[in-house]
Structures are given as C-alpha cells and as structure tokens.
Amino acid sequence: MNNKEFDVVVYGASGFTGRLVAEYLTKQYGAGADVSWAMAGRSQDKLVQVRDEIGAPADTPLLTADASNEASLTKMVARAQVVCTTVGPYQLYGSDLVAACAAAGTDYVDLCGEPAWMRQMIDAHEATAKKSGARIVFSCGFDSIPFDLGVWFLQELAKKDLGGEVSRAKGRVRKMQGTFSGGTAASFKATMAAAFKDPEVLEWLKSPFSLTPGFTGPDQPKGNKPEFDENLDSWAAPFIMAAINTKNIHRSNMLLGHSYGKDFVYDEMLLTGPGEKGEETAKAVAGDNSMMGEDAPKPGEGPGKEERENGHYDLLFIGEATDGSSVRAGVTGDMDPGYGSTSKMIAESAICLTREARDTAGGIWTPAPAMGRHLIERLKANAGLTFEQE
C-alpha cells in the first residue's frame, strides 16, 4: 500500500525536459486529479520560477535535492512512491539516486539510453531492489517505450493470429520529425568516453545481450550499413537508437521468461524510400556523425513549443513466423520524439507504476514486462500514441 507523501516526484524539474514533464502533469493531472506530485531540483529559486512559468499551482510542493549530495537524495526518495528523473547523463549523475531508490523501496523511472551504465546498475542493485520492492524502470522515453512496447504488442497479436509468439521481429522507422535531445547527445558522448577508458564498457556496447546477464542468444543483424528491403520496397539506413532499443528488447524477452523464444532475433532500421533517392538518403544517414559534433544539442537546450508540437513519428513492426506467415503493427506518436512525446511517456510511466502496475515485483525492469498493456492503454488515452494492427 502506498503510504508515501507523493505519488510522483519529478527530479530535474528545472531542466529542459523535466520542465516539460512538470508542465504535462500540471495540465493532465491538475486540480481534481487523484495524483499527488512534487517538483525537485538543486535550486529552490529555479523551481519557483519554473512552477510559475508553467502555470502550476502556487502550492505545488518543491523539494531541493542534488545528485552530489547523497543525504538530500535519500531524503527526497523517502517521500516519493516513484521518482521520475530527467537528470542525465545518468552515468554522471544517476548512480546514487538508483542506489537510494533501491535501498528505500522507492520506484524509479528515467530516460536512460546508456546501456553500459544500466548494466552496472543491474549488477549493483537488482538484488537490493528485489528485496526492498523498488521497481527500477530504465528507458521510459522515446528510447525505448515505443519500440519495447511495440514488440510486446506485436507478440500479443502473433499469439492471437498466428497461435504463438514469433522468433523474428523487425522494427522500422517509417517517419520521424523532431530533434534528438541534448541529454541524448550528452549521454552518447559520456558513453564513448567511458568506453575509451574501460574495455568492458566497450564490450557491453557491442553486445545486443549486455542487459541479459547470464544469457546470450543467437547472432543478430548488425544494421550498421544501408540495405534494400525488397518486402517493403525501400532502402533502410542504420537507426541511431537501435543500439539501446535492441538491448532493452532482449532484456524484456528475458524478464518475460523468454516468451519470444531463446532464439529471438530483432533489428531496427530507418526507412528512407525506394530508388536512387532512397539509397542516397540511406548513405547520408549512415555517414552522419552529428551526434558527436560541436553542433549537437546541449543539455538544457531544445526545440520551441511549435517545433515540438509539429513533430511526430511512425514506426512499423513486422513479426515473421517460421512457416512464412507474418503479422504487422504500427506505433505512432503525435509530438517530436525527443522532448514532447518523451515527456508525456515518462510521466505516464511513473503514474502507471503507482496505479495499474502495483503487482509488478521489485527489481530492475524494462517498460514492457513492468507495465505492458496497462502502459499502452495510458499512452493511448493520454499521451498521443497509437498501437494498431496493420
């Protein structure tokens, strides 16, 4: 039973993405809603400023906590049913918070796309979280909710239409408009720096099974160069988020008792269209290194309201059975993936843990096995996502 002071504490609420999360909660779960939430961050003055700018009630609770001060984190997590953190890169600022939540039995959601750090947290804190009852759920933004839940939804369709889950699935980005977040770029740079120092980190980055300790499945498609997909009549390019999404999806499969099969194969790519133009675009995408460049978005920077609202994404998932039969599913989002849609997804994930997913046991989770259909229904009802059979 939840006896905490707040259902949700948004940690990092004065940062760019955290502010969007707080703004969403204000609009979606304001006066009369049965959700108690608070804003948290390093500076009381900045929290007051953001609270007033986003139109949150003047009595919205404000908590001060700093990633460099363990005592302040411990005090914050003791008051929360779930901490919703946007303070990244998580490998630089998140380890003590995960430890505090695991120890206190406080649930946790983040936007992490840093697989080596996630593996370190699994190794260090999963046993504690299982004992305390804390549900630690990584990657509750564009990486990896639409993909992780997309594959889960596809497998549910396969059970219904084909008589069982499929051991081969493809994720294909059909359309996407929006800017990757400054946090994603910062996380990418921090991860590359860590890999340069530690060979084990490099191995975790390379392996699709780095988040499934003790299990290694079959060889997976590399997806690291342009290719033509005859079935879709389109060129396909490497997709930058595949490196984290595929790892999360294999962890989901493991946490679901390998219901997709121990021989499950999955890959993700970005569709660029047919013909010479499609090939040219695919090659340009494959050669794009802007995420590591000086022009990459910085933490705290992001697109304006109009750009966020004009963004969108459209994903296709294809499941292939051994007898040649197949099933397809589409997942769409109504705002830019890195900020607008992400801020809604993490907020709904936090609330889902406090409401519908109460029976999920303590441990370190991915979104699909932790929340599954409960979260899909929330995202469809509130966050502008669709999950549909095609």
Sequential DSSP letters for 227-267: EEETTTTEEEEE-TTHHHHHHHHHHHHHHTTSTT-TT-EEE
- CA 113 centroid distance within chain: 7
**From CA 107, how far away is CA 126, in angstroms rounded?**
13
Which segments in the chain show pLDDT lower than 70?
1-2, 31-32, 179-185, 187, 195, 201, 290-300
Judged by DSSP in three states, 132 sits in helix
* Residues in CB range of 106: below 8 A, 6 or more apart: 4, 77, 78, 80, 81, 82, 83, 100, 134
Q: What is the pLDDT of residue 30?
A: 79
Q: Which phi and psi (to 5°) does residue 340 adopt?
A: -60, -55
pLDDT at 204: 76
Distance (Å, rounded) from C-alpha 249 to C-alpha 251? Answer: 5
SS3 content of the chain, % helix, strand, coil (to 5): 45, 20, 35
- Hunting for tokens 């400054």 — which residue is that? 182
Angle at the Cα of 339 from the Cα atoms of 193 and 236, rounded to 5 degrees:
70
Q: Which pLDDT belongs to residue 296?
A: 64
pLDDT on residue 1: 47
Topology adopted by domain 6-141+341-383: Rossmann fold (3.40.50)
For residue 310, what are the CA distances in angstroms to 114, 148, 334? 28, 24, 8
Query: Is residue 127 within 8 Å of residue 102, measured between CB atoms?
Result: no
Report strand pairing: 385-389 vs 265-273.
unpaired
Residue in this structure with the two tokens 């004065």, named with its chain if needed:
14
pLDDT value of residue 300? 66
Alpha-carbon Rg for the chain in angstroms: 20
Are 274 and 234 in contact by the 8 Å Cβ rule? The answer is yes
The reported pLDDT for the residue numbered 295 is 64
Q: State which H helix or E strand residue 61 sits in.
A: none
Helix (H) or strand (E) holding 175, with range, is: strand 168-177
Structural tokens at position 131 = 């004992």
Q: What's the pLDDT tens digit per position in 49-84?
A: 999 999 999 999 999 999 999 999 999 999 999 999
What's the pLDDT tens digit per position in 299-325?
Answer: 667 778 888 888 999 999 999 999 999
The strand pair at 227-229 and 234-238 is best described as antiparallel
Q: Torsions phi, psi of 48, nearest 5?
A: -60, -45
pTM for this predicted structure: 0.94
